[in-house]
């Protein structure tokens, strides 16, 4: 109620101010005409007539053009346009009435021009002066505002400083921009101080608290340099959203956020054929195994946007399943999803799921993927990644599913660990099962994803929060990385491209050195590598390789219609051999005969180089 009363009073104050300016504008227009000397009596009478008519006319145009919908503190170009329209239309109506009434007798022609110009200046000037006062003088007196330096004096920088000036969080003290023509210019009263190379000096000289990067299209190299400079100066830096986020209308320029590791990787945006994916998913019953995992949960999020008739979320981890199901409840079409607890190793449960739900498309993202843990527990890894996968693949064939998409990994190529070998064996099984039934079995293979559970990124983040050290296994170790949404989008795209039997390899870009990633994450935390946070090398873990491969040298790799998806033609394996090895593996799992398990796995995946300790 108090807020409404304040707004009402403010609008009436503004209205009274504007009406006073009508009289002032009439007087000043005549005073200017007669050089501020004595106005002849005949013209004084004309001035009063102009005032009598313009007062009610301008009153009407002020309200008609909405001059009191805006707030003076946020006066902008649209407000100025409304003022100009209201005054010009009001003046023209006034002149027309005066012409009909007195033929403009006693009103000098120059005042007809001066009157609206002075009135526009009075109304607009008061609003802009008030805004300047509120944004500058009040802000300068604020003890809570953070002194901010804005990098980038382009369109994004102009929009950002305008937004920043409307709150009391930041006090913008300057811009830095590499365009030399802009040096010394003012943008909304904030000076362009120099180029980006002077960042460190300006931060120290002006006692900057935070650096705001307003360069949504900046390259990863530029961002890395800026982040490092801020870290060396122990200054927090934030950024505006990327161009992709802005164009997708998911964020606005003023939505400042911390710089993420993804921003520094420099991966180009991926163009997807969403119509094709929608045609593939819409109206079908789709099941995602491992729905509570990093890839599985993102699959569920993206699948829901393509209007499936039913989405089955299957996972054996209760809390993970609860989390993703709870998240999907916020969606308007949540009612089409169903969360089911179950383990892909449980034949009875899987048989019920397929019979009850009748999925038409299955995305198998269920797997044990943590290399050291699977290396230490090979029987459990094989039971899930090999026996569990083969079991739900058999059920898919038995129940005439249309598509079965197996989510694989680059660790399946020339594996040196049990996890990679099990994923390669799962690929082999799905490829061989294809063509023996109505179901199309498609495999998608890709590398690491940023931020997935158990990955290096959350580990580094935790170690940095604890003050270090950050542990890296080897100074030369590299890995392929992509974001989780990016990987899932390519999985969906690849699913629409396959007829069955294919292994689609996702383009992961260039491999990234883990040591570089560790240093960048330390910088993102506003700290300096080796000074504030130590980096230690712990040595390669069992089954770990220095570098990963996306395809075997014997695999014939070729392009597809999508530039980020390649097709691998892997070697064929005799179906009877596959079945015999599976039978051996089942028995060895039951008896926990690790040596037999590894030997059989090695025979089916001859490129597998197991740790010798597993064969002892």
Report cis status (omega within 30 of 0) of the bond before 554: no
Q: How far apart are CA 227 and CA 144, in angstroms?
A: 25
306 and 351 fall within a common domain? yes
- The residue ranges of DSSP E strands in 342-480, in sequence order, are 361-364, 403-409, 440-446, 448-450, 470-472, 478-479
| CA–CA dist 292, 305 (Å, integer) | 18
Could you tell me the CA-to-CA distances from 463 to 238, 372, 523 in Å, in that order?
A: 22, 19, 13
pLDDT at 390: 95
Bridge partner residues of 236 (DSSP): 210
- The answer to whether residues 81 and 230 belong to one domain is no
151 shares a domain with 110: no
**Cβ-count burial 559-573 (b if 16+ within 10 Å, e if not):** ebebebbbbbebeeb
Q: Could you report how far apart the first and last alpha carbons of the chain are, in Å?
A: 81
Question: So what's the pLDDT on residue 347?
Answer: 94
> Alpha-carbon Rg of the chain, whole angstroms?
35
Do 464 and 597 belong together in one domain? Answer: yes
Asked if residue 449 and residue 355 are part of one domain, the reply reads yes
Query: Measured between alpha carbons, how far is 459 from 395 in angstroms, rounded to an integer?
Result: 37
Sign of CA dihedral 321, 323, 329, 333: negative
Residue 615 lies in a domain: no
Looking at the domain assignment, is residue 150 inside a domain? yes
- Looking at residue 70, its pLDDT comes to 54
Distance in angstroms (rounded) separating the CA atoms of residues 83 and 61? 9
Q: Which two tokens stand for residue 112?
A: 């007809």
Q: Compute the 3-state secondary structure of the chain and give helix, strand, coil in percent, each to the nearest 5.
A: 50, 15, 35
Last residue of a domain, one of 113, 138, 163: 138
Query: Is 10 among the domain residues?
Result: yes
* Nearest to 566, CA basis, from 420, 396, 400, 445: 445
With H, G, I as helix, E, B as strand and everything else as coil, classify residue 255: coil
The CB density around residue 31, as the number of other CB atoms within 10 Å, is: 17
Interatomic CA distance for residues 290 and 299, integer angstroms: 10
For 122-152, how does the pLDDT look when each residue is reduced to its tens digit (9 = 90+)? 888 777 777 666 555 545 555 567 888 889 8
Domain count along the chain: 3
Are 251 and 393 members of one domain?
A: no
Looking at residue 1, what is its pLDDT?
41
Strands 210-213 and 448-450: unpaired
Distance of CA 390 to the CA centre of its chain: 36
Secondary structure class of 400 (helix, strand, coil): coil
Q: Which of 439, 428, 418 is nearest to 582 (CA)?
A: 428
CA distance 287 to 405: 10
Q: Are residues 119 and 27 in the same domain?
A: yes
Q: Is the CA virtual torsion 541, 546, 549, 552 positive or negative?
A: negative
Answer yes or no: do 79 and 154 share one domain.
no
Residues catalogued as catalytic: 411
- The residue among 111, 138, 165 that closes a domain is 138
Domain end marker among 138, 164, 191: 138
Same domain, 188 and 222: yes
Q: Domain with 218 in it: what CATH number?
A: 3.40.50.720
Q: Closest by alpha carbon to 271, among 449, 445, 450, 486?
A: 486
Give me the residues paired with residue 445 across strands: 408, 505
CA distance 445 to 79: 56
Token pair for 362? 């299955």
pLDDT of residue 75: 52
Residue 264 lies inside a defined structural domain of this protein: no
Mapping DSSP onto H, E and C, the string for 103-128 reads CCCCCCHHHHHHHHHHHHHHHHHHHH
Count of other CB atoms within 10 angstroms of residue 179: 12
Inside any domain, residue 611 = no
Question: Which structural domain range is residue 506 located in?
Answer: 274-604
In this prediction, the residues of the chain whose per-residue pLDDT falls under 50 are 1-8, 73-74, 138, 248-251
Same domain, 412 and 520: yes
Residue 498: CB atoms within 10 A of its CB come to 20
Q: Which two tokens stand for residue 200?
A: 């460190």
Closest CA to 552 of 570, 564, 578, 574: 570
Same domain, yes or no: 316 and 423: yes
Look at residue 616 and tell me if it is in a domain.
no
Please report whether residue 19 resides in a domain: yes
243 and 308 share one domain: no
- Tokens of residue 600, six digits: 């059989």
């Amino acid at each position: 109620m108090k807020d409404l009363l304040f707004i009402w009073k403010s609008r009436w104050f503004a209205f009274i101010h504007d009406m006073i300016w009508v009289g002032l504008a009439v007087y000043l227009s005549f005073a200017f005409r007669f050089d501020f000397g004595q106005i002849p009596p005949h013209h004084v009478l004309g001035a009063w007539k102009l005032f009598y008519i313009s007062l009610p006319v301008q009153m009407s145009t002020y309200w008609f053009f909405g001059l009191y919908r805006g707030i003076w503190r946020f006066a902008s170009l649209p407000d100025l346009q409304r003022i100009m329209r209201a005054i010009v239309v009001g003046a023209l109506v006034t002149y027309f009435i005066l012409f009909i009434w007195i033929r403009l007798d006693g009103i000098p022609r120059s005042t007809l021009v001066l009157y609206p110009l002075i009135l526009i200046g009075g109304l607009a000037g008061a609003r802009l002066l008030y805004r300047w006062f509120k944004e500058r003088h009040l802000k300068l007196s604020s003890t809570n505002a953070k002194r901010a330096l804005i990098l980038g004096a382009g369109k994004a920088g102009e929009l950002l400083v305008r937004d920043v000036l409307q709150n009391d969080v930041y006090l913008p003290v300057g811009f830095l921009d590499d365009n030399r023509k802009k040096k010394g210019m003012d943008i909304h009263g904030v000076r362009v101080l120099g180029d980006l190379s002077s960042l460190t000096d300006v931060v120290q000289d002006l006692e900057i608290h935070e650096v705001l990067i307003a360069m949504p299209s900046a390259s990863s190299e530029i961002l890395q340099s800026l982040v490092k400079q801020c870290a060396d100066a122990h200054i927090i830096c934030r950024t505006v959203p990327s161009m992709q986020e802005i164009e997708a209308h998911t964020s606005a320029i003023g939505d400042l956020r911390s710089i993420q590791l993804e921003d520094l990787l420099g991966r180009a945006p991926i163009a997807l054929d969403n119509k094709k994916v929608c045609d593939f998913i819409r109206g079908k019953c789709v099941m995602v195994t491992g729905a509570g995992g990093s890839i599985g949960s993102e699959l569920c999020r993206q699948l829901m946007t393509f209007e499936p008739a039913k989405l089955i979320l299957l996972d054996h981890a209760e809390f993970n399943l609860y989390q993703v199901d709870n998240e999907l409840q916020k969606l308007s079409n949540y009612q089409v999803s169903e969360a089911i607890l179950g383990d892909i190793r449980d034949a009875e449960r899987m048989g019920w799921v397929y019979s009850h739900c009748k999925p038409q498309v299955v995305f198998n993202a269920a797997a044990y993927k943590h290399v050291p843990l699977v290396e230490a527990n090979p029987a459990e890894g094989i039971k899930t990644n090999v026996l569990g996968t083969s079991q739900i693949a058999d059920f898919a064939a038995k129940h005439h599913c249309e598509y079965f998409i197996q989510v694989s990994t680059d660790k399946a190529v020339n594996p040196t660990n049990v996890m990679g070998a099990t994923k390669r064996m799962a690929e082999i099984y799905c490829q061989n099962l294809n063509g023996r039934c109505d179901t199309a079995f498609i495999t998608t293979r890709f590398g690491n994803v940023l931020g997935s559970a158990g990955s290096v990124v959350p580990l580094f983040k935790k170690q940095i929060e604890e003050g270090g050290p950050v542990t890296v296994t080897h100074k030369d170790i590299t890995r392929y990385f992509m974001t989780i949404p990016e990987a899932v989008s390519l999985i969906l795209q690849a699913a629409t491209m396959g007829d069955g039997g294919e292994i689609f390899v996702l383009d992961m870009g260039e491999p990234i050195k883990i040591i570089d990633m560790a240093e960048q994450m330390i910088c993102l935390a506003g700290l300096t590598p080796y000074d504030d946070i130590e980096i230690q090398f712990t040595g390669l873990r069992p089954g770990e390789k220095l570098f990963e491969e996306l395809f075997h040298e014997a695999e014939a790799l070729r392009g597809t219609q999508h530039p980020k998806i390649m097709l691998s033609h892997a070697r064929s394996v005799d179906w009877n051999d596959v079945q015999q090895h599976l039978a051996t593996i089942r028995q060895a799992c039951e008896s926990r005969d690790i040596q037999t398990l590894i030997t059989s796995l090695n025979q089916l995946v001859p490129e597998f180089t197991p740790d010798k300790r597993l064969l002892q």
